[in-house]
Structure 1
Amino acid sequence: MSPLVVMRKRIAFLFFCVCAFLVVLIIRLGFVQLSQGADLRKKADDSHYRGVPVAPKRGNIEDRNGNVLAMSISTETVYAIPAEVRQAGKAKETALTLSKLLGKSEADIEARITKRSALEYIQKQVKPEVAAQIRALALPGIGTTEDSQRYYPQGTLACHIIGFAGIDNQGLEGIELTRDSELKGVPGSILQEFGANGIPLPQAEHQYLAPKQGNTVRLTIDANIQAFAERELKKLMAGQGTNMNGQSPKSASILVMDPNTGEMLALASTPGFDPNHYQDADPSARRNIAVQNGYEPGSTFKIITLAAALQEKKIKPTEHFFDKGAYTVLGKNVRCWKAGGHGDQTFVQVAENSCNPGFIEMGQRLGMDTFYKYLREFGFGQKTGIEMSGEARGILANKKKATALDLATMSIGQTNNVTPIQLLTGVSAVANGGTLLKPQLVKEIVGPSGRVVTPFEKEEVRRVISEDTSKLEREILESVVTNGTGRRSFLPGYRVAGKTGTAQKVVNGSYIQGEYIASFVAFAPADKPRLAILAVIDGVPFFGGAVAAPVVQSVMLDSLKYLGVKPDPQAPLVPGKPMPGLEFPPLKKAATVPSVLGMPVAEAEKTLSEAGFKVQTDGQGETVLDQIPHGDTQVEEGSNVLLYLGKDAAAPTLAHWWEDDDEDIEAINSLAGRVPISASPLGQ
């Protein structure tokens, strides 16, 4: 083959190789341009466009009527672009100037503004006047941007529900946390073009991407009813509550629910805190004890025992039961709070008198399996699902290990551990016709335009008792208030149903003496309930009827009037008297106890007798050192007044006075010292 032919072949081969390379290059360029162009363009922009974030305004939190409970107010943030600061060569001078204006360490500021990063925040939530001074100085590489700060205009009101947000406007507790995604909004930014050396390009365009404001979370809470509840809690903590005698409880909660919808109208606990200064509060004060703490409910739980016994037809209200003063189970005597017992009584009177042996009989007739069935049906031992982080499940005795004695104590509200929100939810099921509802805290989510984005409807969990059982128990519980141990919550003109409760506290596996958890739960009007209220007061030497019932009475009266619920002209009688045993005689006439402190005993007895009271004395001496009830207290005409005499009179023993109240105190004392089954594994 001639050299010319060989050369031509080589040239052709080289030509085809070059063509193939060009084809591959064109295909690759086309792929990059068409398929990856957008991503590469964004990366290019990111490399020479730098954005200063603009924080969105966090959405409001409002009560059900639109009253603002949490809002965001405008502030500013001071930032630095370190590359620009270094380029100017004035880092030390800039740090010194900012240190004087911001009150921060000069060394700390210098370290920040010279850091190897694209953007550094120097200080957030700067006052507008300070930010204006910094802008006027035109310091190289230093700028300000719009920011916001969380503000709670009502202070401590509903603090445990609202929670609080941190300095970066992130939700940390309460609704601020659980609804953070709806509240926080979408950040915006200010974009500026920079060169490869990190210096802004002259006459470069600025782009402003506006932030999107967060949604408003509208709660089911009514700020006025919440205020009624918190007012009573403040009185309690100041020792000003009825029968508190200047003593303060360790903690207390008041919960108010619409039993027909499950909406919480108030959820108040004390001690509380100011979310504007949450950092200053003790962590224990931020705990939502109404949702996160459990306790043995005492006699308020008898509402559940009664509901189960009526539903299963294990008792008839007119059936008689004889209380001899104690109920013997497995060789152990569980005593009634009334020495010697109540004698012969109907089961309606068992409820009115809060008779322990009568309720134990109900539990024994139900049996272990059926009793536990209703525990579960009413939601005990499980979370209610209320929108609060850290909700407790409560603790139920291990069914496999429980004995008939445990069933007896569970029937009167001991042994098992429940949360206040669980108990109120269960009682609301009795009040509303028999349906267990999920407690609600959020009514709706509202967009920045004012349009409702997400409405919330009531959630029915399950039916636990029938309409007929609910109606009958409402009548019986009304009798408890009108004619029984709950009379201190009686409201003239309103039909109130309720139950007192007192439980000793468990510490290190044993009951402690002389310190109780007093509670009262009620709903009204009894025939068509609008409100269900529970008060739980921890750490008092008094019974539920004496301390908690007046608290519920006050909140109930103010709330009913506020809601426009008019008095019933037929109250407190049940229309039609549906069955024997439910006739409710009116209360005796109320009378004010005169103060006889410091008087000689003979003069004190004469003063009280002339006022229509009976007198009992305790201690030795001729001078009255103390009295129960105290002066100016409203009680029934003809009641007993206990006088403590002499210098060494014994400390008040409330059992002398309040023995007609409720209570399980004698029964609890008979079991004191044994390890409660409430220490059993969770939910078993």
Structure 2
Amino acid sequence: MKKNRFHSRLTGIMYFVCILFMCIGLRLCQIQLAKKAMYRSRILNQIEAKDEEIGERGNILDQSGKQLAFNKRQYTVIIDPSKIHINEDQFLKNLQDIAEKKILDLDASFFETLEKEFQANKKYKVIAKKIDDVTKEKIKECLSKIPEERKYLFFKKEIEREYYRKDIYETLVGMVRFTKDSKEKKAGVFGIESRYEPYLAGKILTRSKYYSRDKKKVLPTSMEWMYTNLNGNNVYLTLDNEINYILNDEIKAQYDALNAEEAYGIIMDPQNGKILGISTYTRNPKDLRNQVFQNQYEPGSIFKPLIVAAALDEGLIQKNSTFNIGNGSIVKYRHTIRESSRTTTGILTTTEVIKKSSNVGMVLISDRFTEEQFEKSLRKFGLYDKTGVDFPNEIKPYTTPHKKWDKLKKSNMAFGQGITVTPIQMATAFSAVVNGGKLFRPYLVEKIVDDDGVVLRRNIPKVVRQVIKPEVSEMLVGMLEETVAGGTGSRAKVEGYRVGGKTGTAQLSSNGRYLAHQYLASFVGFFPVENPQYVILVMILKPQAESVFGRYGGTASAPVVGNIIRRISKIKNVSSQEVSKIISTKKETLEEKPRPVLGEEMPDLKGLSPKEVMNLFQSTNYDIHIKGTGLVVQQEPAAGKSLEEVNKIEVILE
């Protein structure tokens, strides 16, 4: 009986132990398998610390290295009052020393508040915001005498994106901000900042360290990371800051003088497709599109050289071909096309059609094309496709296949109506007319360089196709020079230089009808004629001159191009007798006084050329305003004045 009772108890105990071990086993399975991730996360939260490092965004610079978009490091100074109680008196003494030296602006009320927070044993107190690197080092130096200052003093780094002359460069360079896809750091949202985001963005590196239970020792399992350069790459543009300044200055002056609705300009090197200058102005401050790449216009008469070039290249006309303009009008399919000038009548040669900007002459030239030939010529000039410029969201020109044209379409397009193109498209196509017939792909970025100075990518000129023969291009260059010398473009003439170009006055339309006396006034010019280095396109939308004549391309836009050429020729090495005289004058001036050196005081700039002024301030962020042409005769601030609080420098040339 006792034996059976013992066996029963033993069996019960064994069952209990088995069930206990089963429960423990199930619990272990639950912990190690089912809830492994949860417990692992809890443990890591207790012993793991993650240190995230974000590299700085790369800079955007012009071709000479002038910073157009750059970073400004700023710091927030934070202390932990709860850890200062042992050295409180010494800390306050040093902090007062910082205030007395005017390193930080700390008044009596600040110190009263700080003492209360010491007593409350608070763990977080901001004592300064947006300080620079120099101020940071001064603060560290003043507080470094206190034992274990690293335990309670922290500098939180913040990077602010800064822009040089935002009013000029914003629609081109773009901006950065937080987006839905980039919550941890700001990303480019338009312009070059957006197009080259993968190159400009800094990298993110996350380091993990594992601590002992008391978090006083770093466990040897922690990985030691080798130095990695996390900074983004620097993007160098083809833009020339000096040329771009001149372009903006002249366009802005005319834009304001004519109270225009919009104005745009572009300067290109026709020999390679480099964009040297971009300018856009609009009355709508919320419009951040760059109109040069992202808007379409009927070009008007600046389109005529393309059609004449195509006709000459196809052998449909000759340079000495003649056209009977009659009384200055022609009827096509019950629609009368007239000359803009009543004096344009009679017999005109091909050159005179361009020189006098004859609409009727262009219609007669277009009659020699079949519709298929005409479309083929437009396609050769790239007017059915985007140019491929490295700018985001370039829009495609509005052109349709010839099978969809009405009977009047070809005649209208011949003088720049019924077709819409972007300014970049027009400047690119015109460059092919004067550079020997090569259509280049335009580009904005010269090279991309990493933070260590290694060139990662370099853009090289790309010829899309040969549009016209070199000899045809040479003929057009001669015709366009005559247009400036004694035709509709005479206001773009520059003493001592051979300049070519074409005027354009496109009548604006709305709801399918053309508006009376509302125009897009344009001029596209190039110089020097013997070896074109610059193509300059200026467009002014709805100029409000008192007379209708003052709203035409020849009066509203041609003088702007003339002024731009005059100023560029003074600062660049362009062959001319006038330039030789200026160089000689500069040499005499330089012999009389030593070259100025930039320091804490404003140097004497008198006698310097605009290029020398820009070179002197190249590595700074001063807002440089240059007025006039020639050499410096006046300056503000005056020589010898402190530059400590100066943001803007003005010089006047004569």
The TM-score normalised by the length of structure 1 is 0.64
Which residue does 2:56 correspond to in 1? 57
Which residue does 1:562 correspond to in 2? 571
Q: What secondary structure, in the 3-state scheme, does the structure 2 residue paired with 1:157 have?
A: helix
Amino acid of the residue matched to residue 408 of structure 1?
A: S
CA contact (8 A) 2:344 2:356 kept: no
Q: What secondary structure, in the 3-state scheme, does the structure 2 residue paired with 1:550 have?
A: helix
The aligned runs of 1:617-628 (5 Å cut-off) are none
Q: Are positions 1:387 and 2:390 aligned together?
A: yes
Which residue does 1:323 correspond to in 2? 325
Q: Deviations over 1:473-526 (max 9, x none)?
A: 111111111121111111121111110001111222222222111000011111
Q: Are positions 1:214 and 2:228 aligned together?
A: no
Q: What secondary structure, in the 3-state scheme, does the structure 1 residue paired with 2:377 have?
A: helix
Identity of aligned residues (%): 30
Deviation at 1:50, TM superposition (A): 2.7
Deviation at 1:373, TM superposition (A): 0.7
Query: How many Å separate the matches in 1 of 2:378 and 2:45?
Result: 60
Q: Are positions 1:404 and 2:413 aligned together?
A: no
Q: Are positions 1:202 and 2:205 aligned together?
A: no
Which residue does 1:550 correspond to in 2? 559
Which residue does 2:85 correspond to in 1? none
Q: Are positions 1:253 and 2:261 aligned together?
A: no
Which residue does 2:197 correspond to in 1? 180
CA contact (8 A) 2:481 2:501 kept: yes
Q: Deviations over 1:625-683 (max 9, x none)?
A: xxxxxxxxxxxxxxxxxxxxxxxxxxxxxxxxxxxxxxxxxxxxxxxxxxxxxxxxxxx
Which residue does 2:23 correspond to in 1? none
Q: Deviations over 1:596-639 (max 9, x none)?
A: xxxxxxxxxxxxxxxxxxxxxxxxxxxxxxxxxxxxxxxxxxxx
Of 467, 480, 487, the residue aligned with 1:484 is: 487
Q: Are positions 1:369 and 2:372 aligned together?
A: yes
Q: What secondary structure, in the 3-state scheme, does the structure 2 residue paired with 1:400 have?
A: helix
Deviation at 1:138, TM superposition (A): 9.6
Which 10-residue stretch deviates more, 159-168 or 301-310?
Answer: 159-168
Q: Deviations over 1:87-122 (max 9, x none)?
A: xxxxxxxxxxxxx99xxxxxxxxxxxxxxxxxxxx9
Amino acid of the residue matched to residue 181 of structure 1?
A: P
CA contact (8 A) 2:348 2:361 kept: no
Q: Deviations over 1:159-178 (max 9, x none)?
A: 22211122633212211111
Query: How many Å separate the matches in 2 of 1:499 and 1:452?
Result: 40
Note closer, same or farther for the CA distance 1:44–1:470 as it changes in structure 2 (3 Å cut): farther
Q: Over the residues paired in the alignment, what is the CA RMSD in angstroms?
A: 3.7
Of 149, 154, 158, the residue aligned with 2:160 is: 149
Query: How many Å separate the matches in 2 of 1:138 and 1:567?
Result: 67
Which residue does 2:512 correspond to in 1? 509
Note closer, same or farther for the CA distance 1:142–1:407 as it changes in structure 2 (3 Å cut): farther
Query: How many Å separate the matches in 2 of 1:568 and 1:347?
Result: 32
CA contact (8 A) 1:56 1:148 kept: no
Deviation at 1:295, TM superposition (A): 0.5
Deviation at 1:42, TM superposition (A): 13
Query: How many Å separate the matches in 1 of 2:335 and 2:165?
Result: 53
Amino acid of the residue matched to residue 291 of structure 1?
A: F
Note closer, same or farther for the CA distance 1:561–1:340 as it changes in structure 2 (3 Å cut): closer
Of 295, 303, 306, the residue aligned with 1:304 is: 306
Which residue does 2:622 correspond to in 1? none
Deviation at 1:446, TM superposition (A): 1.1
Query: How many Å separate the matches in 1 of 2:421 and 2:515?
Result: 19
Aligned residue-pair number: 477
Which residue does 1:420 correspond to in 2? 423
Amino acid of the residue matched to residue 252 of structure 2?
A: K
Deviation at 1:342, TM superposition (A): 1.9
Q: Which runs of 5+ in 1 are unaligned?
A: 1-40, 81-99, 102-121, 240-246, 273-280, 570-684
Query: How many Å separate the matches in 2 of 1:227 and 1:340?
Result: 39
Query: How many Å separate the matches in 2 of 1:188 and 1:398?
Result: 53
CA contact (8 A) 1:55 1:147 kept: no
Which residue does 1:293 correspond to in 2? 295
Query: How many Å separate the matches in 1 of 2:76 and 2:207?
Result: 13
CA contact (8 A) 1:76 1:147 kept: yes
Deviation at 1:130, TM superposition (A): 10
Query: How many Å separate the matches in 1 of 2:330 and 2:373?
Result: 21
Q: Which runs of 5+ in 2 are unaligned?
A: 1-39, 80-108, 111-125, 179-184, 545-550, 579-654
Deviation at 1:156, TM superposition (A): 2.7
The TM-score normalised by the length of structure 2 is 0.67
Which residue does 1:25 correspond to in 2? none
Which residue does 1:30 correspond to in 2? none
Query: How many Å separate the matches in 2 of 1:269 and 1:487?
Result: 25
Amino acid of the residue matched to residue 55 of structure 2?
A: P
Query: How many Å separate the matches in 2 of 1:50 and 1:145?
Result: 17
Query: How many Å separate the matches in 1 of 2:249 and 2:404?
Result: 44
